């Protein structure tokens, strides 16, 4: 979701260029900012860590909501809650 939202912003930049509001150089700069900024941050956040930690982090950050976890087992939901409780202490 976070990556999709950020890519949507890049799509808006491209659309703005097509309507004459930005130059191709402006778009290129924004794409490089995206690539070197939020894209790398999200990759590091979710790809480098343990998959369970990535799910917990996404839940704590609000990327995954309880609605997304409606089909998760009671054990998974309980473990996520324990993680969130512990995480909120920091």
Question: Per residue of the chain (90 residues), what is the pLDDT tens digit?
Answer: 889 999 999 999 999 999 999 999 999 999 999 999 999 999 988 887 788 888 888 888 888 888 998 899 999 989 998 888 887 766
Q: What's the pLDDT at 25?
A: 97
Residues 62 and 88 in one domain: yes
Residues 39 and 55 in one domain: no
Domain that holds residue 73: 50-90
Residues 43 and 65 in one domain: no
Q: What's the pLDDT at 89?
A: 67
Q: What's the pLDDT at 38?
A: 95
Interacting residues of 46 by C-beta distance below 8 A, sequence separation 6+: 54, 57, 58
Residues 6 and 28 in one domain: yes
Residues 85 and 61 in one domain: yes
Which phi-psi region, left, alpha or beta, contains residue 85 (left: φ > 0; alpha: ψ -120 to 50)?
Answer: alpha
Separation between Cα atoms, residue 32 and residue 68, nearest integer Å? 32
Rounded to two decimals, the pTM is: 0.64
The count of domains in the chain is 2
């Amino acid at each position: 979701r976070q990556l999709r939202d950020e890519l949507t912003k890049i799509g808006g930049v491209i659309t703005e260029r097509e309507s004459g509001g930005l130059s191709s150089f402006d778009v290129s700069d924004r794409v490089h900012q995206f690539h070197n900024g939020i894209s790398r941050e999200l990759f590091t956040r979710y790809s480098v860590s343990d998959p369970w930690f990535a799910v917990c982090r996404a839940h704590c950050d609000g990327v995954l909501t309880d609605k997304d976890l409606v089909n998760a087992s009671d054990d998974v939901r309980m473990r996520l809650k324990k993680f969130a409780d512990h995480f909120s202490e920091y």
